[in-house]
Amino acid sequence: MCGIAVALGLNGRPIERMAVERMAKSLLHRGPDDGGIYMDGAVGMGFRRLSILDLSEAGHQPMVSEDGQYVLVFNGEIFNYVELRSELRQLGYEFRSSGDSEVLLAAYREWGRECLPRLNGMWAFVIYDRRHQRLFGSRDRFGVKPLFYSRSADVMQFASEIKALRASGYQLGGINWRTAARFLLEGRLDSQIQTFYEGIEQIPPGSGFEVALDGTWHQWSFWSLDTLPLSTSADPAATFADLFEDSVRLRMRSDVPVGVCLSGGLDSTAIICAAARQQGSSFGREAESLQAFCYMAKEFDESKYIADTLTQTHAQIRQLETSPADLWTDLSKLLWFQDEPVHTMTAVVGYQLMRLAASHGVRVVLNGQGADETIGGYSSYFQDYWVSLIRQGRVREAWQAVTAYTQAHGGNSRRRLTEAAARCISWELYKFEAYRKWAQARRTARLRRNPWFSEDLIKHFINEDIPPTSTTLARSLNQSVVSSPLPLYLRIEDRNSMAHSVEARLPFLDYRLVSFVSGLSDDWKVRGPWNKYVLREGMRGRIPESVRGRVDKMGFPTASKKWFAHDLYEPLRDILGSQAVRERGIYNTTLVLADLDRHRRGEIDCANRLFHVAEFEILSEILRQDPSLAA
């Protein structure tokens, strides 16, 4: 896991070494173990290394092929590198190192752009192909590893983080107010390739690109959820369990200690139990026991489930001790690493958990990101499933599913079925242009009635044509992976872990596992009162039954509503009432402060909206003060 920085001069412009060095220096936290610079006229490549595989100098980057024709900078891991190396050796390749970087370079030399479908991992890389006078690069299927780029009249840049592009001096764009308006008005983050900075975008997940040295650009997709086949497994639970076990096995490959982030939930429990089986910890071999890092808010006690998991795995628990004040203190540090806003204070908990892991010598952490969005873990997916049944004419089955859910979770079955039917009607109406125009006008009017923000902000908002809430489970899961919320969570996970030079690995995002789950029928994802049904069945006998059978979901929750009314009221008011906020010209500060006080009295709950304004102001101040970020 590392940091990469690449600059390409166009129209004969040479790249300055100092610019590439500044880019690489801004990524020091991503790679404190080693670094390097490669310069060749119009091409500059910088690298910071976090040594995970092959800790020797043989893993140094930028990595140059033996014939000098190919130069690689690579962030991430190719988990099936052992198998690929064996295949490439049979084709005549020799290897000096024992890691995955040299395997990736050889794979490109042998198969060109067709190497991408062969890779199982998380990656962002750029290869300077001197032989063909071009740059070749890619980002993994789900965008686990970041890759940003910018282009001016005479320079193109690529980097692992936004701050590196801005540190070069070649990219000086300010805040992208279209993105900022989307966030402040609707809370939307990372749903598009645009970022919070003018002129800086993301390379899309699951894509490759080539750029000639004259700037000619070609980009393509090598993987998509839309093209995956239906599953033909006779025993989906067993197939899932086998794929998941192998995914964890591959992600345990490391030359440094591996730990696990553990909540009392299904996903992290499945991971730590599988990891313990890999290490033998479930049989009590203390020398190989895993370290588990957890956070439990007093308001959300999952200690019973965690205790059952520790009994089975013999893992060593490391519990995060923090407070609202500690989290608030770290918020500005987190935002510097993130470069962009986050969704809630939960992101700060993740930041502190990764710091805890680093303090105990752990440099690789397995985490459960991706399970909810691919297998159906959020409560909203239940209604998506009921809608799917109604649209297929299976109304009786929909009623049975709603009734089973209500018996376990409480509520009113008739109301739930009525709401699902209403969503079906909305989708049908959306097919008519007049209805779409009415829906857009209604959305615009709602935004203009928002009393917190001035017309100066609202005028930046682009009223995109957004369809009504997804009407099938399959469509909703696809949107969750491609648009929201997975891209946001992956961004937060990457920056939080790399802020402390820790590599986060995500077993649920093995493309083989996702491909299999995507091809299953809906009732293997949601069934009766159960979400992630295939995971629950696949883990039967493999994880504590108390966890496998629980129907509630917590994750790493925080009590922000209470904190902003009590512990964090004063620091929040200091920011919202500051001169900088008044002078920003986009807020009605009197109303914002009035709603803060109403929130404190318990009359309303606007914790998320308050947090978004506060963090936007903190980030704006960071941009103003930090030379590597400020325009």
Q: DSSP states of 498-559 as a string?
A: HTTT-EEE-GGG-HHHHHHHHTS-GGGTEETTEESHHHHHHTTTTS-HHHHT-----SS---
Grade residue 44 by pLDDT with cuts at 50, 70 and 90: very high
315 pLDDT above the threshold of 80: yes
**How does residue 1 score in pLDDT terms, banded at 50, 70 and 90?**
low
Question: pLDDT per residue over 221-246, tens digit each?
Answer: 999 999 999 999 999 999 999 999 99
Encode pLDDT of 607-630 as tens digits.
999 999 999 999 999 988 865 544
User: Of 528, 548, 568, at which residue does a domain stop?
Assistant: 548
**Residue 586 maps to a domain:** yes
In this structure, the answer to whether residues 173 and 318 fall within a common structural domain is: no
Over residues 281-298, mean pLDDT? 69
Whether residue 362 is found in the same domain as residue 240: yes
Q: Give the per-residue pLDDT at 128.
A: 98
Structure confidence at residue 283 as a pLDDT band (50, 70, 90): very low
Same structural domain, 500 and 397: no
With a cut of 70, say whether residue 282 has pLDDT above it: no
From 169, 194, 223, give the residue that closes a domain: 223
Percentage of the chain lying above the pLDDT 90 cut: 81
User: What pLDDT sits at residue 492?
Assistant: 98
Q: How confident is the model at residue 467 (pLDDT cuts 50, 70, 90)?
A: low
Per-residue DSSP letters for 53-83? Answer: S--SGGG-SSEE-TTSSEEEEEEEEETTHHH
Burial class of residue 311, CB neighbours in 10 A (0-12, 13-18, 19+): exposed
pLDDT at 350: 97
Residue 411 region, left (φ>0) first, then alpha (ψ -120 to 50), else beta?
A: left
pLDDT bin (cut points 50, 70, 90) of residue 251 is very high
**pLDDT band (50, 70, 90) for residue 456:** confident
Backbone angles phi, psi at 244, to 5 degrees: -65, -45
Q: Tell me the pLDDT band of 78, cut-offs 50, 70 and 90.
A: very high
Q: Is residue 595 part of a domain?
A: yes
In a domain, 111, yes or no: yes
In terms of Cβ atoms closer than 10 Å to its own Cβ (0-12, 13-18, 19+), residue 90 is: exposed
CATH for 177: 3.60.20.10
Tens of pLDDT along 383-422?
999 999 999 999 999 999 999 999 999 999 999 999 999 9
The tally of CA atoms less than 13 A away on the side-chain side of residue 128 is 27
State the DSSP H helix or E strand holding residue 342, giving kind and residue range, or none if neither.
none
pLDDT tens figures, 175-209 = 999 999 999 999 999 999 999 999 999 999 999 99
- Indicate whether 277 belongs to any domain: yes
Contact partners, residue 430, CB within 8 Å, separation at least 6? 436, 439, 467, 468
Residue 360 lies in a domain: yes
Question: Which whole number is the average pLDDT over 104-121?
Answer: 98
531-565 pLDDT per residue, tens:
999 999 999 999 999 999 998 765 556 788 999 99
**pLDDT for 466 beyond 90:** no
Residue 322: how many other CB atoms lie within 10 Å: 18
124 SS3 class: strand
pLDDT in the model for residue 555: 55
Given 155, 190, 223, the domain boundary residue is: 223
**Planar angle of CA 110, 47, 627, nearest 5 degrees:** 145
The confidence score (pLDDT) of residue 626 equals: 67
- How does the average pLDDT of the chain come out, rounded? 92
Q: State residue 287's pLDDT score.
A: 45
Evaluate whether residue 553 is within a structural domain.
Answer: no
Q: Say whether both 147 and 182 belong to one domain.
A: yes
- The yes-or-no verdict on residue 92 having pLDDT over 60 is yes
Domain total in the chain: 4
Do 193 and 95 share a structural domain?
yes
Kindly report, residue by residue over 130-169, the tens digit of the pLDDT: 999 999 999 999 999 999 999 998 999 999 999 999 999 9
**Number of Cβ within a 10 Å radius of residue 459:** 9
290 and 172 in a common domain: no
pLDDT value of residue 556 = 56
- Tell me if 496 is assigned to some domain: yes
**Inter-helix orientation angle 607-625/324-338, to 10°:** 50
Question: Which of 582, 584, 585 is closest to 593 using CA atoms?
Answer: 582
Same domain membership, residue 187 and residue 98: yes
Asked if the structure places residue 555 within a domain, the reply is no
Same domain? 321 vs 421: no
**What digits encode the pLDDT tens for the residues 530-540?**
999 999 999 99
Asked if residue 195 and residue 48 are part of one domain, the reply reads: yes
Same-domain check for residues 20 and 38: yes
495 shares a domain with 453: no
Least confidently predicted of 83-92, 284-293, 434-443, 451-460: 284-293
CATH number at residue 314: 3.40.50.620
Is-contact 63 371, C-beta < 8 A?
no
At residue 570, the pLDDT reads 97
pTM: 0.95
Q: Which of 328, 295, 339, 267 is nearest to 498 (CA)?
A: 339
Say if residue 461 is in the same domain as residue 538. Answer: no
Question: Over 60: is that where the pLDDT of 285 sits?
Answer: no
Question: Which residue range(s) make up the domain with 281?
Answer: 228-375+483-548
Mean pLDDT of 52-77: 88
